[in-house]
Amino acid sequence: MTDKINVQLTVELAHQCVKCSACRSVCPTYSVVKEERSSPRGRLALAEAVVDGIMPLTEDIAKQWNECAMCRRCEWICPNEVEYKEIMFRARHEVKEKLGKKDFVKDAVYNGLAMMGNTITKTAMKFAPTLMNMYGKIFRKDVPEYNAVFLNTGIPKFTKLMPKPTAKPFALRGKISKPKKGSKGRLLFFTGCMIDAFYGKTGENVIKLMNEAGYEVIVPENIRCCGAPQLYGGEVELFEKLMKHNKEELSKYDFDAVVVACPTCGGALKEEYGYPVKDFAEILEEQGFFTFRGKGEKVYFHFPCHSYTAMKTDPDVYRTVLKNVDNAKYVEGENAMMCCGFAGYFSVANYEVATELQKNKINDIEKTEAEYVLSDCPGCVFNLADGMYKHGEYKKVKVQHLADYLAERLTDEPVENKEEKEKEQEEITSVY
Ligand code: SF4
Ligand code: SF4
């Protein structure tokens, strides 16, 4: 696998779609906009028309492509194995090259992420927890458990319930953590930007769970953003730089597999970088490591799109892990697998569609009457907490990363009657 990404939107790629429309039923943007232009098939038809020279590349076409969340649910369901991601990032790259229109917010997001972990951001992030916590204490006493709300301008578009910045950003870097007894192998934990900046505790909990499962964990000192947001956005050169940097850094370590708690990072590390990658939940499930005791709670799990589309983690992994938490009930929402509407820059650029998706997700959660909402993606956790605050009864529901929920329920006592418990919950169903 070379570090050079092919950006050519070829005729072969553009002609892969046979227009059967099977993908429309799973596309989040189509579910809201309900027009062909917002469906995977519509976006692919435009790519085909541009490549064939039937239509010139215009701002209007670029807009249709940019309204895609890049969740890749269409690719996942497509019976013809259309390589949607390959087509769309190349199409977006072509927009950048040929139309060259500047989007300052998008550039700031992608470049800001690319800088995460360098000396400047590491220094700046040292002050972020104090500043943001001060802001929260003064202006947003109504949400003390989050404490910091970003840009409460009164304009809903710019109000976002933010997690507290982690007390010690990037503190996991360079850590080596060993299991109490022996070692089944060595995992390299690729933390990802949100864990480094906001969810440090989640990172600690992933390490704790992996140590308990018998693995040694190392966190590289000098990794940067995985580059997936930039690649999906068509910023291919930026992605290549990040991949080159990260590969050089990872080559300094010996490890058996990369472990992640963010499926967007995991997908890129698997598909583009070419590493063996496991989600921490997959490792728990493989080990049959079910010594978790709940507190009698009802639990909803939101399946992050990239977990099954990019990482290709079997959704049953999560079901199995959660069904086996003793003294807790896993309830699956009808739309538990539908996109929550975050998708990084998508939720900024397509605020109305993203908000509808967020509302639908909160509605699905509330129907189940769950007290805990879990996910295995820091971005989804962030968006679900914001969604509960804006559209739901957020004081009644705790939103957490799966790693935090499980680590808090670790128990030394063996959990009995595993099979019985799993059988008890067999009626759980969901649709795509
Ligand atoms: S992308 Fe796949 S599922 Fe969608 S219309 Fe084309 S061939 Fe059918
Ligand atoms: S990637 Fe997601 S949002 Fe984009 S067309 Fe496919 S299903 Fe729809």
- Between CA 34 and CA 32 the distance in angstroms is 6
* Alpha-carbon torsion (240, 241, 244, 246), positive or negative: negative
pLDDT tier, 211 (very low <50, low <70, confident <90, very high otherwise): very high
**pLDDT tens, 40-76?**
999 999 999 999 999 999 999 999 999 999 999 999 9
* Ligand lying closest to the C-alpha of residue 78: 1
Residues sharing a CB contact under 8 Å with residue 362, sequence separation 6 or more, in sequence order: 384, 387, 388, 391, 392
Q: What is the mean pLDDT of residues 176-196?
A: 94
Q: What is the pLDDT of residue 319?
A: 96
Pocket test for ligand 2, best of 23, 24, 26, 29 (most atoms within 8 A of CB): 29
**pLDDT tens, 77-97?**
999 999 999 999 999 999 999
pLDDT tier, 103 (very low <50, low <70, confident <90, very high otherwise): confident
pLDDT tier, 148 (very low <50, low <70, confident <90, very high otherwise): very low
Closest-CA residue, ligand 2 atom 4, reads 68
Q: What is the pLDDT of residue 48?
A: 97
- Between CA 162 and CA 273 the distance in angstroms is 31
What backbone torsions phi and psi does residue 431 show, to the nearest 5 degrees?
A: -110, 170
Q: What is the pLDDT of residue 167?
A: 75
Q: How many CB atoms lie within 10 A of CB 316?
A: 10
The domain 288-424 is placed in CATH, from the list 3.40.50.1860, 3.40.50.720, 3.30.413.10, 1.20.120.1200, at: 3.40.50.1860
Pocket test for ligand 1, best of 19, 72, 88 (most atoms within 8 A of CB): 19
State the angle between helix axes of 84-98 and 59-66 in degrees (0 to 180), rounded to the nearest 10.
Answer: 140
Indicate the residue type of 336: A
CA of 222 to the centre of ligand 1 (A): 40
47 lines ligand 1 (CB under 6 A): no
24 lines ligand 1 (CB under 6 A): no
pLDDT tier, 162 (very low <50, low <70, confident <90, very high otherwise): confident
- Between CA 104 and CA 280 the distance in angstroms is 36
DSSP letter at 293 equals: E
Q: What is the pLDDT of residue 332?
A: 96
Residue 209 predicted with pLDDT over 60: yes
85 lines ligand 1 (CB under 6 A): no
267 lines ligand 2 (CB under 6 A): no
Question: Beta strand 176-177 with 216-218: parallel, antiparallel or unpaired?
Answer: antiparallel
Q: What is the pLDDT of residue 137?
A: 66
* Ligand lying closest to the C-alpha of residue 350: 2
Residues 109-134: b if buried by 16+ CB within 10 A, e if exposed:
bbeebbbbbeeebeeebeebbeebee
**In DSSP terms, which residues pair with 301 in a beta bridge?**
374
- Between CA 192 and CA 187 the distance in angstroms is 15
- Between CA 22 and CA 41 the distance in angstroms is 9
Pocket test for ligand 1, best of 24, 26, 39, 74 (most atoms within 8 A of CB): 74
DSSP code per residue over 367-410: HHT-SEEEES-HHHHHHHHHHHHHHS-GGG-EEEEHHHHHHTTB
Question: Beta strand 372-375 with 398-401: parallel, antiparallel or unpaired?
Answer: parallel
Residues 258, 277: contact at Cβ < 8 Å? yes
**pLDDT tens, 118-143?**
777 777 767 666 766 666 666 666 66
41 lines ligand 1 (CB under 6 A): yes
**pLDDT tens, 387-420?**
998 898 888 999 999 999 999 999 887 666 555 6
* Ligand lying closest to the C-alpha of residue 30: 2
Q: What is the pLDDT of residue 102?
A: 75
**In DSSP terms, which residues pair with 187 in a beta bridge?**
217, 257
CA of 16 to the centre of ligand 1 (A): 8
- Between CA 304 and CA 301 the distance in angstroms is 9
Three-point CA angle 204, 207, 211, nearest 5°: 140
Average model confidence (pLDDT) across the chain: 88
CA of 77 to the centre of ligand 1 (A): 8
Cα distances (angstroms) measured from residue 28 to each of 20, 308, 355: 18, 15, 12
Closest-CA residue, ligand 2 atom 8, reads 27
**pLDDT tens, 15-44?**
999 999 999 999 999 999 999 999 999 999
Domain residue ranges in the chain: 11-98, 120-283, 288-424
Closest-CA residue, ligand 2 atom 6, reads 74
Q: What is the pLDDT of residue 127?
A: 67
Closest-CA residue, ligand 2 atom 5, reads 40
What backbone torsions phi and psi does residue 293 show, to the nearest 5 degrees?
A: -120, 120
**pLDDT tens, 289-320?**
678 999 999 999 999 999 999 999 999 999 99
13 lines ligand 1 (CB under 6 A): no
CA of 80 to the centre of ligand 1 (A): 7
Q: At 155, is the secondary structure helix, strand, or coil?
A: coil
Q: What is the pLDDT of residue 108?
A: 78
